[in-house]
Amino acid sequence: MNEEQIQRYSRHIILKEIGGKGQQKLFDGKVLIIGAGGLGAPIALYLAAAGVGTIGIADADDVDLSNLQRQVIHFTPDIGKPKVDSAREKMQAINPDVKVVTYKEWVSAANITGIIADYDFVVDGTDNFAAKFLINDACVMAGKPYSHGGILAFDGQTMTIQPGVSACYRCIFPEPPPKDAIPTCSQAGVIGVLPGVLGTIQATEAIKFLLGKGDLLTNRLLTYSALRMKFREVPLKRRATCPVCGDHPSIVELKDELDAMTVCDLGR
Amino acid sequence: MKVTINGKETALSENPARTIDSLLEELDVNQRLYVTVEFNGEVLDRTEHETTPVADGDTIEFLYFMGGGRS
C-alpha cells in the first residue's frame, strides 16, 4: 500500500479484524452486484469505498426520474444514462483504486454462469422473482456464495447463502410466485431509505465474506420493518427436499422463469 | 389457545379442526396463496398446509415474498 492508500483505509487498518492483511484481502476480492438500483446503489458505493478491488455491476436499464428517490448512486443529470455507466462513474469518483466491470444486460439462463464465474461473492440487488430464482440456482450450481435481498413498501428481507452449507432461497421459496401475484415496488411503492438499510447489510456480508471474519447471515432470514422499526431473525435450515440444493434436485439446469419475468417492469 | 406467530404470542379460539390452511384463511394472511409457512422450525410443503393441525404452543412463521430493488 502506498502512503495515500494507508491514509484512505486507515479506519479499516486500525480495526484488529481487518488490519493491513484484511485490507489486502479486500483489494484482492471480486464481488458481482446484480442490479444497479435501490439495493445496488448502497452496495456499490460502500464496496467501492471499502476498496474491494474488482466490482462487477450488471443492469440493462437506464436511469429514470422515478429512480432518484432511493437509488442514491444516480444523480439528476444521469437521467437517460445506462445505470451501469452512472454507477461506475460514482464508484470510481469515490475510489479510483477500484476496477469496475460493467455488464449492460439482464442476467439470463444463457449468460449468468459466465458472468458469476469471475467473482468470489455475488450480491442480488434485483427487483423481480425471475432474476432472484435464477441467481439462486446459478449460484447453488456454481457453489458461489451470495447475498439475497428483497424489499417492498416498508419491509425488507435478506439472507446469505453458502451453497451446500446453508439454506438457499428455494429451501424457503421452492418456486416463484405467479406473475402479478405479488405487488412490485412500482405498484406498491417503496420508502426511499429502505434499500439503503438492506443494501448496506448486504454489502457488510460481502465484506465479511472477503475478510473471513465474523458470522455470516446464513441459515437465518433477517426481516426488517421500517414502520415498526424492528429487525427479526427467522432460523432456517437446508431442506433435503429443496428442488435445487436438496438430496435429489429436480432442477439440474438453469432456465428462465418466463412466468415471473416481468414482475417489476409493470407500470414503470 | 395460544400460538406464537411471527414472534408474537397470539390468542386463538379453541378449534380442534384448525389446520395451517384454515389458519391462513382465518387470519387473512398476506400473500395467503404463496406465503411460506415455517411450523415449529420446519418449512412446510404447501401440500402439508391442509394436513397440519395447529395446537396450543405451536410456533408459526409466515415468510413472505419480497421482490423489489432495482426499479
pLDDT per position in chain A (268 positions), as tens?
999 999 999 999 999 999 999 999 999 999 999 999 999 999 999 999 999 999 999 999 999 999 999 999 999 999 999 999 999 999 999 999 999 999 999 999 999 999 999 999 999 999 899 999 999 999 999 999 999 999 999 999 999 999 999 999 999 999 998 887 887 777 789 999 999 999 999 999 999 999 999 999 999 999 999 999 999 999 999 999 999 999 999 999 999 987 654 444 433 3
pTM: 0.94
Residue in A256, A79, A199 with CA at minimum distance from that of residue B70: A199
So what's the pLDDT on residue A188?
83
HEC secondary structure over A86-131 = HHHHHHHHHCCCCEEEEECCCCCCCCHHHHHCCCCEEEECCCCHHH
Looking at residue A267, its pLDDT comes to 32
In contact, A142 and A113? CB cutoff 8 Å:
yes
Q: Given this model, what pLDDT does residue A134 score?
A: 97
Assigned C-alpha cell, A46: 460502500
Q: Where are the domains of chain A?
A: 3-260
Chain B residues in contact with A149 by the CB 8 A cut-off are 69
Q: What angle do CA A224, A206, A159 make, to 5 degrees?
A: 35
Smallest Cβ–Cβ distance between B71 and the set A127, A178, A188 belongs to: A127
Pairing of strands A54-58, A30-34: parallel
For A236, nearest residue in chain B (alpha carbons): B41
Residue A268: per-residue pLDDT: 34
Predicted local distance difference test score (pLDDT) of residue A260: 59
The answer to whether A101 and A119 have CB atoms below 8 angstroms apart is no
* Closest by CA position to A133, among listed A266, A17, A3, A242: A242
Contact A230, A151 (CB under 8 A): no
Cβ within 8 Å of residue A5, ≥6 positions away: A51, A97
List the beta bridge partners of residue A34: A58, A124
Q: What is the pLDDT of residues B15-71, one digit of tens each?
A: 999 999 999 999 999 999 999 999 999 999 999 999 999 999 999 999 999 986 443
| Chain A: residue whose CA lies nearest to B8 | A232
Which chain A residues are Cβ-neighbours of B71 within 8 angstroms? 37, 61, 64, 67, 127, 184-186, 264-265, 268
Q: Do B66 and A150 touch (CB under 8 A)?
A: yes
Tell me which fold the domain A3-260 belongs to: Rossmann fold (3.40.50)
The CATH architecture one would assign to domain B2-63 is: Roll (3.10)
Partners of A187 on chain B (C-beta within 8 Å) are none
Distance CA(A43)–CA(A21), nearest Å, equals 22
Q: For residue A68, give the chain B residue with the closest CA.
A: B71
What pLDDT is attached to residue B14?
95
- Sort strands A220-225 and A230-235 into parallel, antiparallel or unpaired: antiparallel
* DSSP per position, A205-247: HHHHHHHT-S--S-SEEEEEETTTTEEEEEE----TT-TTTSS
Chain-centre distance of CA A171, in angstroms? 19
> Looking at beta carbons, which residues of chain B come within 8 Å of A178?
34
Q: Inspect the interface and report whether the beta carbons of B36 and A172 lie closer than 8 Å.
A: yes
DSSP A248: S
Contact residues, chain B to chain A, C-beta under 8 Å: 6-7, 31, 33-34, 36, 38, 41, 43, 45, 61, 63-71
User: Which residues fall within 8 angstroms of residue A60, CB to CB, at 6 or more apart?
Assistant: A104, A105, A106
CA-CA-CA-CA torsion for A183, A188, A189, A195, nearest 10 degrees? -30
- DSSP conformational letter for A74: -
Task: Kindly list the domain boundaries of chain B, sorted by start residue.
Answer: 2-63
